[in-house]
Amino acid sequence: MGPKLADSVDELRAAGNQSFRNGQFAEATVLYSRALRTLQAQGCSNPEEESVLFANRAACHLKDGNCRDCIKDCTSALALMPFSMKPLLRRASAYEALEKYPLAYVDYKTVLQIDDSVASALEGISRMTRALVDSLGPGWRLKLPSIPLVPVTAQKRWDSVPLEYHKEMAKRKFRETTTSKSRASSAGDVERARVLKEEGNELVKKGNHKKAIEKYSESLSFSDMESATYSNRALCHLALKQYKEAARDCTEALRLDGKNVKALYRRAQAYKALEDYKSSFADISSLLQLEPRNGAARKLRQEVNQSLN
């Protein structure tokens, strides 16, 4: 006798989730579709559940490269539950893959109204800005569709945030409220963080900055009190021209160690690339107070001075 087939909405959704985790995206798509049909056949209104199913199916389409159906499902999910984080991010990714950069920009920007710390949206905005400047020129902002105004009640929607992000933000909140204490990481966590950081360092030596970022991020998930890990990840962001992310990581590094010379130098580089010359000059000045003979910093100060004058 074969296994019992899933038939309730909950069972079908759970089975779809398992197939998705296993990388069986086509099978997951079928299961989410069955769950949607079952839910709609019941005739009872459950917009939140229906929205989740559309968003989940959209994730499958995105994994399979079916961007148009991903966009359709995300739009359906958002019609049921406006300003939900996951469908906005997935639709933005699909628009980006289709090179519909203005629409992707709008979705990433909407996410940042909900929560301005979502790393994937910050990175997306950075990429879209570069793409829009290249394709539409200096007046690109005037050619964008209107960006919806997110009501206050929809901001910081934790129930729409992926679990990994929820954990990261919880740790950040903990850090902000315990500025004089380090996080109580176990000895095993600290050692695991050290090993992952070293793996990231090896990837940097090989020029694989994207993979290195992943290693540094994983390291910080075990112990987030290592200034050097943030400044190392900032180096990778600089190499990938992700200047806002680089500046943010340097700021974290300097919060932990105000004399981290590498973090000061890299943030100065990031600010220079972002054309924030005053902030760049301030960081170089702070660095040269610590290391007056630092040749690279002196050279950067000359370059920034030329831009200021």
Domains, the chain: 9-145 (1.25.40.10), 187-308 (1.25.40.10)
Alpha helix segments (H runs only) across the chain = 9-21, 25-42, 47-63, 67-80, 85-97, 101-114, 119-136, 163-177, 187-205, 209-222, 227-239, 243-256, 261-273, 277-290, 295-308
pLDDT recorded at residue 154: 67
pLDDT recorded at residue 238: 94
Q: What is the DSSP letter of 181?
A: S
pLDDT recorded at residue 202: 93
Q: What is the DSSP letter of 260?
A: -
pLDDT recorded at residue 136: 87
pLDDT recorded at residue 142: 87
Entry field: residues in the chain: 309
Residues of the chain predicted below pLDDT 70: 1-6, 153-187
Query: Is the pTM value of this prediction over 0.75?
Result: no
Which CA distances in Å does 205 have to 193, 200, 246?
Answer: 19, 9, 18
Which CA distances in Å does 108 have to 94, 121, 139, 234?
Answer: 12, 5, 19, 22
pLDDT recorded at residue 1: 40
pLDDT recorded at residue 213: 92
pLDDT recorded at residue 73: 96
* CA separation for the pair 37, 265 (Å, rounded): 57
